[in-house]
Amino acid sequence: MMSVCKQLERKRLLCSAALLLGVTVSIASVARAFADDLDTLSRDDKQWVMPAKNYASTRFSGLGQINAGNAGQLGVAWEFSLGSDHGQEAAPIVVGDTMYVVGAYPNEVFALDAVTGDLKWKYSPHVDPSVQGVACCDLVARGEVYDNGRIFFNTLDNHTVALDARTGKEIWAVQLGEITRGQTLTMAPLAVENKILVGNSGGEMGIRGWLTALDENTGKIVWRAYSVGPDKDVLIGPRFHPYYPDAQGTDLGVKTWPPGRWQIGGGPVWGWISYDPQTHLIIYGTGNPGPWNSNQRAGDNLWTTTIFARDAATGEAVWADVLNPHDLYDFDEVNENILLDLPIDGQTRPVLVHPGRDGFMFVIDRRTGQIYSADKYDEQTSIERFDLKTGRPVMNEAQKPLLGKNISGICPSSPGVKDWQPTAYSPLTHLLYIPHQHLCMDFKTSEVGYIAGTPYVGATEDMYAGAGGYRGEFAAWDVRTHQKVWAIHEKFPVWTGTMVTAGNIAVYGTLDRWFKIVDARDGKLLYRFHSPSGFIGQPITYQGRDGNQYIAILDGVGGWPGAIANAEIDPRVRNGAGGFVGAVGDLPAYTSGGSTLMVFALPHQPVSSNAPSH
């Protein structure tokens, strides 16, 4: 039954026939069928149905029409303005002949002809304008996802919305959080087993982080797993078997905090989620504890800065690794987890590769949570090494924050070596492509009180370029040898995502407006284009009905590093914008806000807007 129902075009017919035959199909098996169908769609390189391309989060496409030999001939095929000058971090998706993209606040969704750029429909949600005063780091959205004929996305004011993919008609909309408590939604949801997974933002506002699973058909909450609190709230039970002793015990989400602190302890889930269809586990990371001032929260502060593996159907925790216990520097671990099978100790093992915000490249057994390796992939002075036996970092005592004292020369700065901007992996080169920043900081903590819906930080930082004087890098990392193979130094932090293809091209953008394609094997520049605004978006690629390959990415500077270029921020205050003013104070001389969807292709005959679709 399962093998047949995996075929998307026959799913409804066969499931109806099963009912007529009196066959009982469990809710769980139907949910698995939906998940398998989306998994099948994600393997079709003509489409790009979720921001990460697939459940393994590789962001690799098998398309090769655009390749290292001809990428220099690329040109702009079409453009479309989203009409919002806030930072544009979203990845478009392509399903069949249609491209879907959600913009930054006010979170309008557009459906476009993927070949011509013609507008098919637009959906404009009614987003509470007061949310603009609550969002931490610009009014961004990171994408949407498709499943079963619907588009799912989040609005900044804590709503998740389902739309009919064909018409744009709203099917349901549910509110999941409260602006007045500092909560927002910025992450791209993920569709898994007939559920929509959504996590909250607000780690700098004293929120209590969670991941929520919604019924895809109704929007009703199926389960919610908190990041802090008692085991019953974190969905820790008899199936939970963490690999390391410090994660073993009862109610550690309470006991590792001072009394009463866990309720405002943070742990938001605003990054990326991966899914293993074989084990039915979802894997994701939690964000920073609150406040940043670590002197106010003695203990390991579980389960913040943690990678969780959970059963997709029930939310039950299966294992967890606490990567930065008692986080000192705002090192969220919400970054992507790329699911690979790698040779380790003479065996091919199912692992996840996690480029940590703390500057370590983790290779972890995705069945058990055992950490096989943790290597520094850029400048890192605050952590000496990672102990693989204990699963804990060994800290540099000289750089631990002391209340009221300015600690200088900490590398990396609070955004980490790499923040949310996702990497890509090529099975052809065995390289991981990493867009990231190269910044250090001076850091000073101070006492802070909690007021709901207001910043709860207790620290200031002054960021600046790391060793070598450059502030960003696009690098290739060999996951087998644990070494950096090549790197491109950039003037500013590289805040876009990336993708890589079978044509041996890797794609990214820069804050100073350059769209770039490089040879995935050696980093040689193949093509660049100067866009209207700086890039913080995520590139994708697809094949149109005309047989041509396209590459799409949103421009529109903003986000945490680019806020100085699209908002009214005093450039004289170095610790403004969470410290980024000091690091990129010259950015306004290169770009200002924008919101242009740029689509590139090789020269070919244009397709008229009334061309037939398949």
Given 158, 288, 335, 548, which residue is catalytic? 288
Closest CA to 331 of 362, 309, 310, 368: 362
246 tagged catalytic: no
Beta strands at 499-501 and 60-61: parallel, antiparallel or unpaired: parallel
Instruction: Output the furthest CA–CA distance in the chain (Å, rounded).
Output: 74
Q: Judge whether 546 counts as a catalytic residue.
A: no
Q: Got the DSSP string for 407-461?
A: EEEESS-TT-SS-S---EEETTTTEEEEEEE-EEEEEEE------TTS----EEE
| Catalytic-labelled residue, pool 138, 204, 321, 519 | 204
Bin 513: left if φ > 0, else alpha if -120 < ψ < 50, else beta: left
E strand map for 42-90: 60-61, 75-81
Taking each continuous run of H as one helix and of E as one strand, the counts in the chain are: 7, 38
Kindly write down the DSSP assignment for every residue of 238-292, as one continuous string: TT---SSGGG-SSSHHHHTS-TTTGGG-B----S-EEEETTTTEEEEE---BS-S
CA distances from 261 to 151, 230, 290, 302 (A): 38, 13, 9, 11
Q: Count Cβ atoms below 10 Å from residue 487 Cβ, excluding itself.
A: 17
Nearest to 196 by CA among 129, 125, 137, 143: 143
Which residues in 549-560 are b (16+ Cβ under 10 Å) and which e?
Answer: bbbbbbbbbbbb
Token readout for 430 is 């065995």
The answer to whether the CB of 213 falls within 8 A of the CB of 197 is: yes
C-beta separation of 444 from 407 below 8 A = yes
CA–CA separation, 15 and 26 (whole Å): 11
Name the catalytic one among 36, 113, 321, 330: 330
Sheet harboring 431-437: ordered strands across? Answer: 424-426, 431-437, 472-478, 483-490
Q: For this structure, is 330 an active site residue?
A: yes
Residues involved in catalysis: 204, 288, 330
